[in-house]
Amino acid sequence: MNTEFNNLINNIKKCQICREKFGFEPHPVCFGNVNAKIVQISQAPSATVYKTLKPFTDQSGKKLKYEWYNIDDVDFYNPNNFYITSLAHCYPGKDKNGNDRVPPKICYDTWLKKELELINNKIYIIIGAKAAKVFFPKELFNELVFKNNYINGKIAIVLPHPSPLNIKWFKDNPDFLEKRLLEIRKIIENTLKS
């Protein structure tokens, strides 16, 4: 047992840093164990995940798990396979225009950096342009998606967000679904077998 890691997870799940900023009860979400093979980092949990407290139980999650990764819930929610976290661990609510609020940087600074220091993973998967910008601030998003990147000497795959709202990106970049996704699926498959 990794006491430091377990204490960190307990503290994340009790976090209330953004309660006043959000105007509702925060529900921090992260999932997996210290030796998970894959660390998956997205922007923030969705409104659906805020209710279920289980990551990727929304439409984006269905596309990610069943279509892109081509795996079932047993493999995805196996804590030895995936450690699932975000720049912000809580659903941030909507802004005045009805869009999801930007994840508060304090969450990344307070929690995610510590998580990544402790987890003994094999690869990273970064989901969405906002998350990619944190790890690769000087690189173009589309270029990141179509190549293998590295964080701490380990492969870091960058994915577009699987949201149904992201249709234009997929139309503009057909090679992602036709070619790159096959390469990514193979990397994930080999990592889960290792």
User: Is pLDDT of 19 > 70?
Assistant: yes
The first and second tokens of residue 108, run together, are: 């990344």
* 98-140: pLDDT as tens digits: 777 888 888 889 999 999 999 999 999 999 999 999 999 999 9
194 vs 190: CA distance, rounded Å: 6
- State the residue range of the domain holding 147: 3-193
pLDDT of residue 164: 81
pLDDT of residue 175: 96
22 vs 91: CA distance, rounded Å: 9
pLDDT of residue 146: 98
Instruction: Name the pTM for this structure.
Output: 0.93
35 vs 119: CA distance, rounded Å: 6
52 vs 68: CA distance, rounded Å: 22
Look at the chain and report how many structural domains it folds into: 1
DSSP 69-124: I---HHHHT-TTTEEEEESSSS---B-TTSSBPPPPHHHIIIIIHHHHHH---SEE
Q: Output the CA angle 46-123-109, nearest 5 degrees.
A: 55
| Inter-residue contact 30 to 76 (CB < 8 Å) | no
What CATH number is given to the structural domain containing 58? 3.40.470.10
pLDDT of residue 84: 96
Q: How far is CA 129 from the centre of its chain?
A: 11
Q: What is the mean pLDDT of residues 69-98?
A: 92
pLDDT of residue 183: 97
Bridge partner list, 126: 41, 158
**Local confidence band at 1 (pLDDT 50, 70, 90 cut-offs):** low
* 158-182: pLDDT as tens digits: 999 998 888 999 999 999 999 999 9
Handedness of CA 192, 112, 63, 151 (dihedral sign): negative
Helical H segments across the chain, by residue range: 3-13, 19-22, 47-52, 59-62, 73-76, 105-107, 113-118, 129-135, 141-145, 167-172, 174-175, 181-193
* 34-82: pLDDT as tens digits: 999 999 999 988 888 788 878 898 889 999 999 999 999 999 999 999 9
